[in-house]
Each structure stands twice: as C-alpha cells, then as structure tokens.
Amino acid sequence: MAKKTVQTKWLLFAVLTVILSFQVSLYAQTEKGIELFNAYEFGKAEQLFRDQLKTDPGNTEAGYYLGLSLYMQKRYEDALAVFKGIKDAKKEIPHNNGRLEIMMTRICLELKKYPEALKSLEDAKAAKADPADIHVCQGGYYLETGDPKKAIAELEEAIKIDPDNAYAYYYAGYAYVRLGLPSDGEKALKKFLELAPYAPEAENVKILVDALC
C-alpha cells in the first residue's frame, strides 16, 4: 500500500512537472514574440504568435500582440478581426485597462467605421482606459466626422495629460490643417513622427509634412 502511494505521488509530480514545463515554454514564446514586436520585426512576431495560438488558443496576450503586429503592417481588417475575436470570447487580457478597446476604436476610425468606433470608445470608457487615450480617440472621432474644432479641444486635453501620446499629435496635426493652420499642423505631425517613427501612418504623415514645409 505504501509502495503504491509513493508511486502515485511520483506520477502526480511527473505530470505536474510536464504541465509546468509546458506553461513556462508558452510564456517564453510569448515573451519572444513581444521582443520581436518591440524590435519592429512585425512579420516575424505575427508568425510566432500564430504558431503559439495553434497550441494555446486561449492565450489572450498572444492574441492581442498578434492583432498589434497586423495593425503595424497596415492589415487593419485582419487586426480588427483578431481583436473582435478576443472581445467576443469575453476573455481577459492581462493588464488590459481598456487597451483592446482603444485599439479597436483607432482601427475603426482608420477604416471609417464610425458607429463601430463610437461603440468601442464607449467600451474603452467603461473599461477605464487611459484618460489621455480616451481624449485622443474622442478627438479622432470628431476629426473624422467633420468637427476639427471639437477635435482640437479633446486632443489638447490629451496632450496635457500625456505629452508623449503620439496619436494626440497625429490627429491634432490633421485637425490644424483642416482649420487652416498649416504651421501648427506641421509642428504636431513632426512631433508624431518623433514619437512614433515606425507607426503605420508614418509614411503618409511624412508626405504631408513635406508638402507643408
């Protein structure tokens, strides 16, 4: 009887060791993907996260970074589909704080899906997203729907809260241009490029800045 008890304990220990090793491996893979993402290797990061999700489909952190990797490659529809999948599954992203909803808002604005953008923005507010990001997205919404003055008010508030929020300057730059203030627009867009040189919008922003100079 004692011998069987010892064998059972060893079997349980072996099983737990295998499970723990597998979890550690998955965590390391997620970290590697994030490292690739932070090194601007978005294609490689995408493939790694896709491979990881085949074996660990419930890994919302990997799913979130997969969406970000697609976004950075200007594959906005694909990124939005990934984010919607996470949202619809009602699974928590570690330390989310509304960042999923903010990204969905930004992409919907890019795709001119304004009702969806507004819904995602309300979800971001409910999730208590970063106040600066909320003002940025609200400003972006006003800009895209034809009210650059309201947009500026929101974006200036965002900059007060977070002077390094790149997208506050992005939307502000376009809003200033639409208001007939090209020098202010140029200044804001240059600040955006300084803060987010690898953003998917950077190429078009550079073209506009050159035209404003």
- Do 80 and 108 touch, CB atoms closer than 8 A? yes
Return phi, psi of residue 17, to 5°: -65, -40
Confidence of residue 95 (pLDDT cuts 50, 70, 90): low
Phi and psi dihedrals of 90, rounded to 5?
A: 55, 40
Tokens of 69: 């990797």
Categorize the per-residue pLDDT at 31 as very low, low, confident or very high, splitting at 50, 70 and 90. Answer: confident
Residue 16's pLDDT is 36
* CA-to-CA dists, residue 48 to 20, 136, 205, angstroms: 21, 31, 30
Mean pLDDT of 89-97: 72
169-178's contacts with Cβ under 8 Å and 24+ in sequence apart are 169/195, 170/196, 170/199, 170/201, 170/205, 171/136, 171/139, 171/140, 171/143, 172/139, 173/205, 173/208, 174/143, 174/148, 175/139, 175/143, 175/148, 175/151, 176/148, 176/152, 177/208, 177/212, 178/143, 178/148
Pair of tokens at residue 17 = 């060791």
Residue 72 has a pLDDT of: 94
pLDDT for 22 beyond 70 = no
Beta carbons of 148 and 184 less than 8 angstroms apart: no
The answer to whether the CB of 120 falls within 8 A of the CB of 101 is yes
Length of the chain: 213
Question: Residue 90: its pLDDT value, please?
Answer: 75
pLDDT at residue 213, as a whole number: 79
DSSP 93: P
Between CA 106 and CA 32 the distance in angstroms is 26
Output 142 or 58, whichever has higher pLDDT. Answer: 142
What does the pLDDT read at residue 5?
Answer: 55
Other beta carbons within 10 angstroms of residue 18's beta carbon come to 10
Q: How far apart are CA 209 and CA 213, in angstroms?
A: 6
The predicted-structure confidence for 112-156, as pLDDT tens digits, reads as follows: 999 999 999 999 999 999 999 999 999 999 999 999 999 999 999
- Examine the pLDDT at 27 and tell me if it is beyond 60: no
Q: What is the pLDDT of residues 10-19, one digit of tens each?
A: 444 434 333 3
